[in-house]
Amino acid sequence: MYYCELKRNDIANGEGVRTTLFVSGCTNHCQECFQPQTWSFEYGQPFTKDTEDAIIESVKPYYINGLTLLGGEPFEPANQRALVPFLHRFRQDCPDKTIWCYSGFTLDEELWRDGSYPRCEVTDEMLSLLDVLVDGRFVRELKDISLRFRGSSNQRLIDVPKTLEEGKIVLWGT
Protein backbone atom coordinates (compact mmCIF):
# COMPACT_ATOMS: atom_id res chain seq x y z
CA MET A 1 0.00 0.00 0.00
CA TYR A 2 1.06 3.56 -0.64
CA TYR A 3 0.02 6.74 1.11
CA CYS A 4 0.14 10.34 -0.03
CA GLU A 5 0.25 12.23 3.26
CA LEU A 6 0.49 11.89 7.00
CA LYS A 7 -1.04 14.97 8.60
CA ARG A 8 -0.36 15.66 12.26
CA ASN A 9 -2.52 17.86 14.49
CA ASP A 10 -5.49 17.66 12.13
CA ILE A 11 -8.70 19.22 13.47
CA ALA A 12 -10.90 18.83 10.38
CA ASN A 13 -11.25 15.06 9.94
CA GLY A 14 -12.81 13.76 13.12
CA GLU A 15 -13.40 14.75 16.69
CA GLY A 16 -10.59 16.55 18.48
CA VAL A 17 -6.98 16.73 17.38
CA ARG A 18 -5.93 13.77 15.25
CA THR A 19 -3.27 12.27 13.04
CA THR A 20 -4.65 11.63 9.56
CA LEU A 21 -3.34 9.05 7.12
CA PHE A 22 -4.27 9.66 3.49
CA VAL A 23 -3.95 6.31 1.71
CA SER A 24 -3.51 5.99 -2.05
CA GLY A 25 -5.79 4.08 -4.39
CA CYS A 26 -9.44 4.74 -5.13
CA THR A 27 -11.83 3.40 -7.74
CA ASN A 28 -14.76 5.65 -6.70
CA HIS A 29 -13.50 8.72 -8.62
CA CYS A 30 -16.02 11.09 -7.03
CA GLN A 31 -16.78 14.19 -9.04
CA GLU A 32 -14.89 17.16 -7.54
CA CYS A 33 -12.74 14.88 -5.40
CA PHE A 34 -10.41 17.06 -3.35
CA GLN A 35 -7.48 14.67 -3.89
CA PRO A 36 -7.77 13.02 -7.33
CA GLN A 37 -4.05 12.31 -7.29
CA THR A 38 -4.81 9.63 -4.68
CA TRP A 39 -6.84 7.61 -7.18
CA SER A 40 -3.57 5.96 -8.25
CA PHE A 41 -2.57 3.00 -6.08
CA GLU A 42 1.11 3.91 -6.56
CA TYR A 43 0.87 7.60 -5.65
CA GLY A 44 3.08 8.85 -2.82
CA GLN A 45 5.25 6.71 -0.58
CA PRO A 46 5.17 3.07 0.49
CA PHE A 47 3.43 2.41 3.80
CA THR A 48 6.16 0.83 5.94
CA LYS A 49 6.88 -0.09 9.53
CA ASP A 50 8.61 3.31 9.82
CA THR A 51 5.34 4.93 8.74
CA GLU A 52 3.45 2.90 11.35
CA ASP A 53 5.98 3.93 14.01
CA ALA A 54 5.63 7.60 13.05
CA ILE A 55 1.83 7.41 13.31
CA ILE A 56 1.93 5.73 16.71
CA GLU A 57 4.44 8.27 18.05
CA SER A 58 2.35 11.15 16.68
CA VAL A 59 -0.77 10.13 18.63
CA LYS A 60 0.90 9.52 21.99
CA PRO A 61 0.55 13.07 23.39
CA TYR A 62 -2.43 13.38 25.73
CA TYR A 63 -4.10 16.04 23.55
CA ILE A 64 -4.28 13.81 20.45
CA ASN A 65 -7.65 12.05 20.23
CA GLY A 66 -6.70 9.45 17.66
CA LEU A 67 -6.17 8.41 14.07
CA THR A 68 -8.25 9.14 10.97
CA LEU A 69 -8.00 7.16 7.73
CA LEU A 70 -8.80 8.97 4.49
CA GLY A 71 -7.89 8.58 0.89
CA GLY A 72 -7.88 7.63 -1.67
CA GLU A 73 -10.04 4.90 -0.28
CA PRO A 74 -9.17 2.92 2.87
CA PHE A 75 -11.77 0.27 1.98
CA GLU A 76 -10.22 -0.66 -1.35
CA PRO A 77 -9.58 -4.39 -0.79
CA ALA A 78 -5.80 -4.05 -1.22
CA ASN A 79 -5.74 -1.19 1.30
CA GLN A 80 -7.87 -3.10 3.81
CA ARG A 81 -5.41 -5.99 3.72
CA ALA A 82 -2.52 -3.62 4.48
CA LEU A 83 -4.38 -1.59 7.11
CA VAL A 84 -5.85 -4.38 9.26
CA PRO A 85 -2.53 -5.56 10.78
CA PHE A 86 -1.55 -1.94 11.45
CA LEU A 87 -4.93 -1.17 13.06
CA HIS A 88 -4.49 -4.14 15.40
CA ARG A 89 -1.08 -2.77 16.36
CA PHE A 90 -2.56 0.71 16.80
CA ARG A 91 -5.29 -0.65 19.12
CA GLN A 92 -2.68 -2.50 21.17
CA ASP A 93 -0.25 0.43 21.44
CA CYS A 94 -2.85 3.21 21.74
CA PRO A 95 -5.90 1.69 23.48
CA ASP A 96 -7.24 5.06 24.64
CA LYS A 97 -7.27 6.60 21.14
CA THR A 98 -10.10 6.48 18.59
CA ILE A 99 -10.01 5.45 14.94
CA TRP A 100 -12.15 7.25 12.38
CA CYS A 101 -12.35 6.19 8.75
CA TYR A 102 -13.78 7.95 5.70
CA SER A 103 -15.06 5.76 2.86
CA GLY A 104 -16.92 6.44 -0.35
CA PHE A 105 -18.42 2.98 0.01
CA THR A 106 -21.60 2.69 2.05
CA LEU A 107 -21.76 0.30 4.96
CA ASP A 108 -25.13 -1.34 4.28
CA GLU A 109 -25.08 -1.31 0.48
CA GLU A 110 -21.43 -2.25 -0.14
CA LEU A 111 -19.25 -3.09 2.86
CA TRP A 112 -21.77 -5.52 4.40
CA ARG A 113 -23.03 -6.93 1.09
CA ASP A 114 -21.54 -10.24 0.01
CA GLY A 115 -20.26 -10.10 -3.55
CA SER A 116 -19.82 -6.32 -3.61
CA TYR A 117 -16.51 -4.99 -4.92
CA PRO A 118 -15.04 -3.63 -1.65
CA ARG A 119 -16.08 -6.56 0.55
CA CYS A 120 -13.21 -9.00 1.09
CA GLU A 121 -11.98 -11.48 3.69
CA VAL A 122 -10.84 -8.71 6.09
CA THR A 123 -13.71 -6.20 5.77
CA ASP A 124 -15.54 -7.29 8.93
CA GLU A 125 -12.27 -7.31 10.84
CA MET A 126 -11.40 -3.80 9.67
CA LEU A 127 -14.86 -2.53 10.60
CA SER A 128 -14.49 -4.04 14.08
CA LEU A 129 -11.37 -1.93 14.65
CA LEU A 130 -13.10 1.40 13.89
CA ASP A 131 -14.93 3.79 16.19
CA VAL A 132 -16.55 5.99 13.53
CA LEU A 133 -17.12 5.38 9.83
CA VAL A 134 -18.03 8.32 7.62
CA ASP A 135 -19.58 6.55 4.64
CA GLY A 136 -20.85 7.52 1.21
CA ARG A 137 -19.34 9.16 -1.82
CA PHE A 138 -19.09 12.93 -1.95
CA VAL A 139 -21.96 14.18 -4.11
CA ARG A 140 -21.48 17.68 -5.50
CA GLU A 141 -25.22 18.37 -5.71
CA LEU A 142 -25.57 17.56 -2.00
CA LYS A 143 -22.57 19.61 -0.87
CA ASP A 144 -23.23 21.38 2.43
CA ILE A 145 -20.39 23.22 4.15
CA SER A 146 -22.39 23.47 7.37
CA LEU A 147 -22.16 19.71 7.98
CA ARG A 148 -19.77 18.54 10.66
CA PHE A 149 -16.99 16.20 9.46
CA ARG A 150 -18.48 15.56 6.00
CA GLY A 151 -18.92 17.28 2.68
CA SER A 152 -22.33 16.23 1.39
CA SER A 153 -25.63 15.45 3.09
CA ASN A 154 -25.76 11.83 1.90
CA GLN A 155 -22.70 10.97 3.97
CA ARG A 156 -23.29 9.45 7.40
CA LEU A 157 -21.29 9.44 10.63
CA ILE A 158 -21.72 5.87 11.88
CA ASP A 159 -20.96 4.71 15.41
CA VAL A 160 -19.34 1.42 14.42
CA PRO A 161 -19.25 -0.40 17.79
CA LYS A 162 -22.94 0.33 18.45
CA THR A 163 -23.83 -0.56 14.85
CA LEU A 164 -22.06 -3.91 15.07
CA GLU A 165 -23.65 -4.62 18.46
CA GLU A 166 -27.19 -3.78 17.29
CA GLY A 167 -26.87 -5.18 13.76
CA LYS A 168 -28.28 -1.98 12.28
CA ILE A 169 -26.81 1.42 11.53
CA VAL A 170 -26.51 3.69 14.56
CA LEU A 171 -25.41 7.23 13.81
CA TRP A 172 -22.58 8.73 15.82
CA GLY A 173 -23.58 11.36 18.35
CA THR A 174 -27.14 10.11 18.75
Among 72, 70, 69, which residue's Cα sits nearest to residue 27?
72
pLDDT in tens, 125-172: 999 999 999 999 999 899 999 999 999 999 999 999 999 999 999 999
- pLDDT value of position 33: 79
pTM of the predicted structure, to 2 decimals: 0.96
Question: For residue 173, what pLDDT band results from cuts at 50, 70 and 90?
Answer: confident
Architecture of domain 2-166: Alpha-Beta Barrel (3.20)
Q: How many CB atoms lie within 10 A of CB 15?
A: 18
Helix (H) or strand (E) holding 21: strand 17-23
- Domain edges within the chain: 2-166
The Cα–Cα gap between 117 and 27 comes to: 10
The Cα–Cα gap between 47 and 155 comes to: 27
**What is the pLDDT averaged over residues 40-57?**
97
